[in-house]
Amino acid sequence: MEFLAVVATDVTERVRRERAVTRRCETLEGLERLIESINTAGRELIDASTRPEIEAAVCASLADSDSYLAAWIAGTDPGDPRLQPREGAGAPMIDDSTFDIESEALSSALETGRPHVVGGEFPPDVLGPFDRDGVSDSRAVGIVPLAYGETTYGLLIAFTDRGTAFGNRERTLLSDLGAYIGHAITAIERRNLLLADTVIELEFGCTDEGAFLVSATGEHGCTCSIEAVVPIAEGSLLFYTTLSGASPDAFLDTATAASGVLDGRYIRDYDD
């Protein structure tokens, strides 16, 4: 007589757990690589001394990383709705001419100040200076505003071949990078203004009858020039003005009677 013993063990659940652990490890490793890629791009800002150096270094750093294939930066000018390709890396730049914004993702990124993502077939304005064949392996594009305060300098457009790219964590990291770039550009522009050999003087005229100085000059038929405006306590402003063609006392009576004006005084007279 022969006996056969069979032991059956259901390993389905164990295999499922092992696969889940593997996926989590791969996800964490990918996140670490992503963070390092973006942080490396951010460190490039330290050594850059001009705006073109900043933009070129960031694009090159992203394109050389494991997380992105290519990147380019589009500049904006106040009052001009078009984009100007400034720097790029990871693919040949075949066209650096200014172009109109047609994609909702680009316009929304500029208007909202938040990153946007484009997948599938990339529109021509998202490709920008790149040829479609040059980024043919890309599966998604991240569009990141470059801004500081109320000023938007342009957009960073990054291409990747990762199928699960641009989640919430990555968007936050890229948004921070865009803010760092905007801050760095602002600092360079302010430094250049301080070191500039020339000064540009702008003269503005106001015709709004709702402004107390405009209404007062209209009533007395004179000219009033604002020489300086100094912020003082509780959000008030102190105006230093030069008056021509009217009596200072009569002008002050009219100006101080206007709504919102607390006080006014005559300082001195110029013979000329």
Look at residue 193 and tell me whether its pLDDT is greater than 70: yes
What pLDDT shows up at residue 126?
A: 94
- Rounded average pLDDT over 81-94: 92
* Residue pLDDT, tens place only, 3-21: 555 445 555 655 455 454 4
- Rounded average pLDDT over 194-199: 74
- Rounded average pLDDT over 170-188: 88
What pLDDT shows up at residue 11?
A: 53
* Residue pLDDT, tens place only, 103-159: 999 999 999 999 999 988 899 999 999 999 999 999 999 999 999 888 899 999 999
Look at residue 166 and tell me whether its pLDDT is greater than 80: yes
Pick from 27-41, 182-196, 223-237, 238-252 the range whose average pLDDT is largest.
238-252
What pLDDT shows up at residue 156?
A: 95
What pLDDT shows up at residue 46?
A: 67
Residue 72: is it exposed, middle or buried by C-beta count within 10 angstroms (0-12/13-18/19+)? buried
What pLDDT shows up at residue 26?
A: 42
Pick from 7-11, 153-157, 181-185, 222-226 the range whose average pLDDT is largest.
153-157
Give me the half-sphere count of Cα atoms (radius 13 Å) on the Cβ side of residue 181. 33
What pLDDT shows up at residue 23?
A: 45
Q: Which residue, among 21, 49, 28, has the nearest Cα to 192 in the 3D structure? A: 49
The answer to whether the CB of 89 falls within 8 A of the CB of 131 is: no
Confidence band, pLDDT 50/70/90 cuts, at residue 27: very low
In SS3 terms, 213-265 reads as HHHHHHHHCCEEEEEEEEECHHHCEEEEEEEECCCHHHHHHHHHCCCCCCCCC
Look at residue 35 and tell me whether its pLDDT is greater than 70: no
Helix or strand run (H / E) with residue 26: helix 12-47
- Rounded average pLDDT over 160-178: 87
The answer to whether the CB of 135 falls within 8 A of the CB of 49 is: no
Residue 26: is it exposed, middle or buried by C-beta count within 10 angstroms (0-12/13-18/19+)? exposed
Look at residue 58 and tell me whether its pLDDT is greater than 50: yes
Neighbour count for residue 37 (Cβ, 10 Å): 21
Give percent of the chain with pLDDT exceeding 90.
27
- Rounded average pLDDT over 24-38: 54
Confidence band, pLDDT 50/70/90 cuts, at residue 239: confident
- Rounded average pLDDT over 192-210: 78
What pLDDT shows up at residue 135?
A: 93
What pLDDT shows up at residue 109?
A: 93
Distance, CA of 83 to CA of 64 (rounded, Å)? 25
Give percent of the chain with pLDDT exceeding 70.
81
